[in-house]
Amino acid sequence: MAVLVTGGAGYIGSHTVRLLVAQQREVVVLDSLELGTKSRIGSVPFYEGNISDEKLIEKICKKHDIDEVIHFAAYKAVGESMEQPLRYYNNNVAGTINLVRALLANGVERLVFSSSAAVYGNPNSVPVTEEEPMKPESVYAETKAVMERFLASCEAIGLRTVSLRYFNAAGASADSTIGEDWSMSQNLVPLVMKAILGFSGPLNVFGNDYPTPDGTCIRDYIHVEDLADAHIKALDYLATGGKSLACNVGTGKGTSVLEVLDMAEQVSGRKVPHVITHRRPGDPVSVFADPTMVRALLGWKATHDLRDIISSAWNWHSKAEANS
Ligand code: UD1
């Protein structure tokens, strides 16, 4: 019995793999290494390859007696997805369909899927509950919404799934060995760290004229190690007979861009060089989770606050400065 983690050498995947290993669970990683880094996963059994490679999936399932899967492998850059829809649908959608076909053919009946709060688009109200309709506003988010629907349908053919709608994953491991590489990400926290450490020019703050208390956008930042834990709780929910579901994984607390900068200054003791620029097209004003369902059904709740997130990111990123 083992869990197969696709995309396990990526940012969220590698934190989840480490937690699985720490809990003495058998883990196997499949990653194309197009965006992942093998050194993040230590000595865990590893296969370099694509989720569409049905022969490879069959080989892994047989050799390792796979009975459950966490499926991270996907492209996730919103802007790029608008320019390359074929590539995104091919990898995220067609790839997942091929993966599921191979898993079902090999007797796998449980899968946890990496979805995103991006499926809500610009929600009608916050905190966002799972009742909010899916209204994706990018090709990336469309691929996640399509896959959620597909996976929900697969319950009828023997695959039970949990789609976890991540809010804004951030931070690094407590021992500062793995984190979010700023060369691979356009997300706020790594870019704040890059600006503080002088590896970029000033951070662009995308608009300060939104209808929020300080004029900047509000998001729900969740520590990557808390997010990793949600995947394991989702596996356990399915293993004990839980039905397919889609649920939010967020803290329930909204934080503005300027609050993130302020916390980064408190933690690092340095100024965050920044300039206020125009709004980023497509940015929703405020998105934060109602985490009632994830707490009730998966028994999960965030244990880290914004200070923990920023401190862990700072500790990890500032090693780059020490090493340069
Ligand atoms: C983005 C994606 C979302 C995806 C998520 C995780 C968009 C519209 N959404 O979410 O689909 O699931 O990443 O990969 O791209 N900000 C700045 N300056 C920067 C970068 C960000 O001010 O240089 C602001 C943004 O305007 C936003 C907040 O910081 O208000 C967070 O941005 P980001 O980290 O990119 O996450 P999201 O936009 O919430």
Q: How do residues 203-221 score in pLDDT, each as one tens digit?
A: 999 999 999 999 999 999 9
- The rounded distance, in Å, linking the Cα atoms of 297 and 87 is 35
Confidence tier at 185 by pLDDT (50, 70, 90) = confident
Full set of structural domains in the chain with CATH = 2-170+221-249 (3.40.50.720), 182-220+252-322 (3.90.25.10)
Token match 């976890």: residue?
164
Nearest residue to 162 via CA among 153, 146, 174, 151: 151
CA distances in angstroms from 222 to 101, 114, 155, 165, 308, listed in the order given: 32, 15, 29, 12, 10
Confidence tier at 320 by pLDDT (50, 70, 90) = low
pLDDT higher than threshold 90 for residue 167: yes
Nearest atom, ligand 1, residue 141 CA: 11
Would strands 66-71 and 168-170 be described as parallel, antiparallel, or unpaired? unpaired
For the segment 21-56, what is each residue's pLDDT rounded down to a tens digit? 999 999 999 999 999 999 999 999 999 999 999 999
Catalytic residue among 47, 88, 140, 237: 140
- The rounded distance, in Å, linking the Cα atoms of 262 and 112 is 35
| Cα 167–chain centre separation | 8
Mean pLDDT of 297-312: 98
What whole-number percentage of the chain has pLDDT above 70?
98
Nearest residue to 134 via CA among 154, 151, 150, 117: 117
pLDDT of residue 183: 86
Mean pLDDT of 248-263: 98
pLDDT higher than threshold 70 for residue 322: no
Look over the chain and give the mean of its residue pLDDT values, rounded to a whole number. Answer: 96
pLDDT higher than threshold 80 for residue 89: yes
DSSP secondary structure of 121-143: -S-SSSSBPTTSPP---SHHHHH
pLDDT of residue 134: 98
| Cα 264–chain centre separation | 21
Nearest residue to 32 via CA among 52, 59, 58, 12: 52
pLDDT of residue 324: 57
Mean pLDDT of 130-150: 97
Report helix, strand or coil for 223.
strand
205 lines ligand 1 (CB under 6 A): yes
Residue nearest atom 14 of ligand 1, based on CA coordinates: 76
pLDDT of residue 282: 81
Report helix, strand or coil for 312.
helix
CA of 170 to the centre of ligand 1 (A): 11
- The rounded distance, in Å, linking the Cα atoms of 88 and 213 is 36
The dihedral region occupied by 289, where left means phi > 0, alpha psi between -120 and 50, and beta the remainder, is: beta
Mean pLDDT of 104-124: 97
pLDDT higher than threshold 80 for residue 72: yes
Confidence tier at 273 by pLDDT (50, 70, 90) = very high
Find the Cα–Cα–Cα–Cα dihedral 15, 17, 18, 20, rounded to 10°: 120
- The question of whether 140 is a catalytic residue gets the answer yes
**More confident position, 184 or 294:** 294
Top mutation candidate among 262, 280, 306, 309 for ligand 1, by most atoms within 8 Å of CB:
280
